[in-house]
Amino acid sequence: MSRDQRAADRAQQAFREQFGTAAEGVWAAPGRVNVIGEHTDYNGGFVLPIALAHTTRAAVARRDDGRLAVASRQGDGGVVELDLADLAPGRPDGWAGYPAGVVAGMRDRLPGGASVLVDSDVPVGAGLSSSAALTCSVALALRDLVAPELGAPDLVELARRAENDFVGAPTGILDQSASVLCTAGHALFLDTRDRSSEQVPLDLAGAGLALLVVDSGVTHEHAGGGYGDRRRECEEAARRLGVDFLREVEDVGRLGVLADGTAEGDVLLRRARHIVTEDARVLQVVAALRSDADPRRIGPVLTAGHESLRDDFEISVPLLDAIVESAVAAGAHGARMVGGGFGGSAIALVEADAVDAVTAAVAARFEREGSPAPRTFVTVPSAGARRLA
Ligand code: ADP
Ligand code: MG
């Protein structure tokens, strides 16, 4: 039995135990790692994520009493239940706000309400986008059940609004796009300004490579303010440069005008420099992959991306730097922190036969730092959101 089939059976079973009836289907949406292109998504720039093999599953059945009931196998075991009419930003609060936000966005199509059972193996709060996996699995379920005319961009938008407007988590469009649009064996090259995308083949295994994901165990908090600060700084830098989005600046030389002799000007210069150079790094990696170049060549670009996030964007933390340093010292071709920053995970591009050695080197470094051994796994570019059963 395939991994997907087993996951579907478990979700069906859990749904039956929770609600006493059968789900109408089971849908899955993956977490993601971004190969390169960090914090560019809200600057109209480029991103290059892959979907993880890890997914969140939503088992869903329509109801006829106008209520929404949601339960998660990763939650506290309780059911959150309320009238559709009572759904509003912040209500329900907590984790249930994510699926509820998607349902609220489709309320007029679903007058009878729905029961939703969630099960997931996407690490939560690790910068691997468990939140988008959750919203996108529910969005796809509702599309199939009540709104077949919706296209992939509509699903991305539905999931984004649930997260931004309903839960109040200020993410860009990267996470939801990756979860919906990624395909196995490819990275998704997405232009976040016009939302055009291209599937770029990325056969790491065929090249004898592996992408190692290391969860630092430091949980990030979007609400902690750092993410919002960076967004505001980027907006301010764009305003001073007279552009709508930093994406429009292609030459770092243009950023000099931000250095007005004040400390704030210096900060804005560095924030903008990260975005402008990061967009260039995405294009560099895409060009290399398109030209069938040895994927090892993208390693140093990843490490340069990390240095930019650490020094110019200032969103790394010591344990993420430690992962990158120890992985590269142990032979990784490149490594970088991924996700919003201030914690979460890092990736390392390594020879397939060096995964164990690099993992051991990172673990040894964590031990020296007095931190518990990090969770690690190897991933390949996997499929986007899909119906399992
Ligand atoms: P990330 O998306 O990087 O994992 P976020 O803070 O954006 O981190 O989203 C994590 C939140 O998403 C959790 O705190 C929880 O509210 C919700 N969540 C994600 N997956 C699940 C799940 N399987 N069950 C319940 N809640 C979940
Ligand atoms: Mg998230």
Q: How far is CA 14 from CA 20, 176, 245, in A?
A: 10, 26, 45
- Would the pLDDT of 82 be above 70? yes
Same domain, 179 and 232: no
| pLDDT at residue 221, rounded to an integer | 62
Q: Residues 262-288: pLDDT tens digits?
A: 999 999 999 999 999 999 999 999 999
Nearest residue CA, atom 3 of ligand 1?
A: 127
Same domain, 315 and 189: no
Same domain, 245 and 349: yes
Q: How confident is the model at residue 225 (pLDDT cuts 50, 70, 90)?
A: confident
Mean per-residue pLDDT, 229-239: 97
Burial profile 171-208: b = 16 or more Cβ within 10 angstroms, e = fewer: bbbbbbbbbbbbeebbbbbbbbeeeebeebebebeeee
Q: What is the mean pLDDT of the chain?
A: 96
Mean per-residue pLDDT, 240-261: 97
As a whole number of angstroms, the distance between CA 211 and CA 379 comes to 6
Ligand nearest 77 Cα, by number? 1
- Would the pLDDT of 114 be above 80? yes
Q: Is the CB of 277 under 6 A from ligand 1?
A: no
Nearest residue CA, atom 11 of ligand 1?
A: 131
156 Cβ contact list (under 8 Å, min separation 6) = 136, 173, 176, 177, 180, 181, 195
Q: How far away, in angstroms, is 130 Cα from ligand 1 center?
A: 5
**Contact 342/224 with Cβ under 8 angstroms?**
yes
| Total number of domains constituting the chain | 2
Mean per-residue pLDDT, 37-66: 98
| pLDDT at residue 223, rounded to an integer | 44
Q: How far away, in angstroms, is 124 Cα from ligand 1 center?
A: 5
Same domain, 169 and 304: no
Nearest residue CA, atom 12 of ligand 1?
A: 131
Same domain, 217 and 278: yes
Same domain, 33 and 75: yes
Nearest residue CA, atom 26 of ligand 1?
A: 95
Mean per-residue pLDDT, 65-92: 96
86 Cβ contact list (under 8 Å, min separation 6) = none
Ligand nearest 58 Cα, by number? 1
| pLDDT at residue 220, rounded to an integer | 67
Mean per-residue pLDDT, 210-223: 84
Give the number of the atom of ligand 1 that is nearest the alpha carbon of residue 340: 3
> Ligand 1 test: best mutation among 70, 76, 95, most atoms within 8 Å of CB?
95
CATH number at residue 195: 3.30.230.10
Q: How far away, in angstroms, is 126 Cα from ligand 1 center?
A: 9
Same domain, 334 and 371: yes
pTM above 0.90, yes or no: yes
Same domain, 44 and 164: yes
- Would the pLDDT of 222 be above 80? no
Same domain, 98 and 211: no
DSSP class of residue 340 equals: S
Nearest residue CA, atom 6 of ligand 1?
A: 125
As a whole number of angstroms, the distance between CA 180 and CA 28 comes to 10
Q: Residues 123-161: pLDDT tens digits?
A: 998 989 999 999 999 999 999 999 999 999 999 999 999
DSSP class of residue 213 equals: E
Q: Residues 286-301: pLDDT tens digits?
A: 999 999 889 999 999 9
As a whole number of angstroms, the distance between CA 133 and CA 330 comes to 32
Mean per-residue pLDDT, 334-350: 96
Give the number of the atom of ligand 1 that is nearest the alpha carbon of residue 128: 3
Q: Is 175 a catalytic residue?
A: yes
Q: How confident is the model at residue 77 (pLDDT cuts 50, 70, 90)?
A: confident
DSSP class of residue 374 equals: P
Q: Is the CB of 135 under 6 A from ligand 1?
A: no
For 218, other C-beta atoms within 10 Å of its C-beta total 18
- Would the pLDDT of 335 be above 90? yes
Q: How far away, in angstroms, is 220 Cα from ligand 2 center?
A: 10
Same domain, 32 and 107: yes
Same domain, 263 and 342: yes
CATH number at residue 257: 3.30.70.890
Same domain, 170 and 48: yes
What residue type is 60 in one-letter code?
Answer: V
Residue-number span of the structural domain to which 52 is assigned: 3-199+383-387
Mean per-residue pLDDT, 302-307: 98
